[in-house]
Structure 1
């Protein structure tokens, strides 16, 4: 992501709210409060919530509005140090060794010092996040931490405690200034208390209808106003049904975008049935909604919006 010149961190909760709003993020005061404290105290912010509620977007907005680099560590099962922290460029090292041997250099200590230098170090997201200068520390997004195993989670404890990494061949590399750390989890497993204690915590919930309409309207400005209201009302009702995976805010935005691309000004039974795959990602959920639920929900949405004027 391209960033502008680094900005001064917000000095109050109200300024934090304004910062989020300037990046197009519709947040509440509770989020702004914990984010302000996280920035002020230089503590990681641990965001928990269902997929699609806007946790990752917070880090992206911070990067954009503060003019900081965004460094993203996308977590997955089996993530290891070589993928997350650093590794050596072995191919380039071998070429250097062969060239030294061909040149007649016999001092093995000098050769080793040469090949295990910064020149051949490949920096992965963790090491990159520790390389920021004072006043320009990056936003470090550790996304979906719950997808990794406990061993990697334990490794992060040193990073989040001291903001340093030890590379045996080079020594300890410590951040000149701690990065702005945002950790997200979809709660597919519990994260250990030792890691949570190093963070400030916030649960990111689904927004109410009013806030979600503001989000959708901001993200899909070309959508018809009536269509946006119906989309939000329909999705809000879907979340009250026991589905395998209810749609998040991201799906609401996608649905409004898709319907706008189809030149729809309002919902109708046919277009709802045809586009449910934008909202729902499991066939069992789609089949359940198509078998009468969608007509009932749409009828209720139309009636309630008509009564509201």
Structure 2
């Protein structure tokens, strides 16, 4: 497959006619993007460049990719990075058991007399190719490719990914070149557990995501949890904001704020008082040390 990556028009992204329109589309599916996020995502779409999103855990990096796929009506393909990930896990593998069965079937059909060259050629076809996320993204485009937590991978995988993103193509020795007809919209995320190399960052647009302000977090809570009262949403947002200012092992993200509000609603609590907070802290804090530290300072937490 071949594709021209110089044209910046793409009918699949018509809802994103401007950063403001894109923000409106994302808001419609529950993702409240501020001006910076909306502009960065819009430019990634228009310029067909990967968007590198960095920030603390829980700031909405992964959710942005999910929301873009939903808002633009594109499939989402996710590659979760981890220590030791390699090209075989991310790109493709050959289905060895099926290839072996195929050889046996050929041998039986030919009475034990196989033409070696013909048999070998029949093994390396699309029928036996197991596409992993990166290959699926090249063959399924247009799509959104989420490369999640790239900072967990090693330098070698980074270099491999850089080459693939630069060409939007990959060469499989036994099969040939696979090239995206339309480059995928690529979102890379990093929690900054280590520095990602400049070479990869230069290939991308960059955006640092902060935790939302209290006002924006209230809006997120009320958007995602329509039944939540204004008072409770405000109290949860303000308490979460104070938690992030404490020296915790894992400060809460937006997902934890939503879980806390859901827990309080499930207990039919209309406001966040000391008793309700003490009973539900496990929805927002995930380490016993953090729980102990916050329980000792509940008065500070609740203002």
Once residues 224 and 39 of structure 2 are traced to their aligned partners in structure 1, the CA distance between those partners, rounded to angstroms, is 24
The equivalent residue for 2:6 is none
Structure 2 residue 18 is matched with structure 1 residue 15:
no
Once residues 121 and 47 of structure 1 are traced to their aligned partners in structure 2, the CA distance between those partners, rounded to angstroms, is 31
The equivalent residue for 1:304 is none
Structure 2 residue 153 is matched with structure 1 residue 145:
no
* 8 A Cα contact 1:9 1:39, kept in partner: no
Q: Which deviates the most, 12-21 or 228-237?
A: 12-21
Structure 2 residue 28 is matched with structure 1 residue 34:
no
Distance apart, 1:113 and its partner CA: 0.6
1:61 to 61, 64, 67: 67
Once residues 175 and 260 of structure 2 are traced to their aligned partners in structure 1, the CA distance between those partners, rounded to angstroms, is 51
The equivalent residue for 1:126 is 134
Q: TM-score, normalised by structure 1?
A: 0.91
Distance apart, 1:6 and its partner CA: 4.9
Once residues 271 and 260 of structure 1 are traced to their aligned partners in structure 2, the CA distance between those partners, rounded to angstroms, is 11
The equivalent residue for 2:116 is 108
Q: Residues 106, 297 of structure 1: CA spacing in aligned structure 2 closer, same or farther, 3 A cutoff?
A: closer
The equivalent residue for 2:86 is 80
The equivalent residue for 1:52 is 58
Provide, for residues 230-256 of structure 1, a one-character-per-residue CA deviation record: whole Å limited to 9, x for no partner. 101111111111111111111101100
2:209 to 185, 195, 204: 204
What SS does structure 2 have at the residue aligned with 1:165?
strand
* 8 A Cα contact 1:224 1:260, kept in partner: no
What SS does structure 1 have at the residue aligned with 2:255?
helix
- The within-5 A match list for 1:1-309 is 6=12, 8-104=14-110, 105-132=113-140, 137-291=142-296, 293-298=297-302, 300=303
Query: RMSD between aligned alpha carbons?
Result: 1.3
- Structure 2, gaps ≥5 residues long: 1-10
What SS does structure 1 have at the residue aligned with 2:245?
coil
* 8 A Cα contact 2:79 2:134, kept in partner: yes
Distance apart, 1:99 and its partner CA: 0.9
What SS does structure 2 have at the residue aligned with 1:202?
strand
Distance apart, 1:224 and its partner CA: 2.2
What SS does structure 2 have at the residue aligned with 1:27?
coil
* 8 A Cα contact 1:59 1:141, kept in partner: yes
Distance apart, 1:229 and its partner CA: 0.9
- Structure 1, gaps ≥5 residues long: 301-309
Once residues 243 and 10 of structure 1 are traced to their aligned partners in structure 2, the CA distance between those partners, rounded to angstroms, is 38
What SS does structure 2 have at the residue aligned with 1:130?
helix
Once residues 255 and 53 of structure 1 are traced to their aligned partners in structure 2, the CA distance between those partners, rounded to angstroms, is 16
* 8 A Cα contact 2:13 2:45, kept in partner: no
Distance apart, 1:107 and its partner CA: 1.0
Once residues 224 and 119 of structure 1 are traced to their aligned partners in structure 2, the CA distance between those partners, rounded to angstroms, is 55
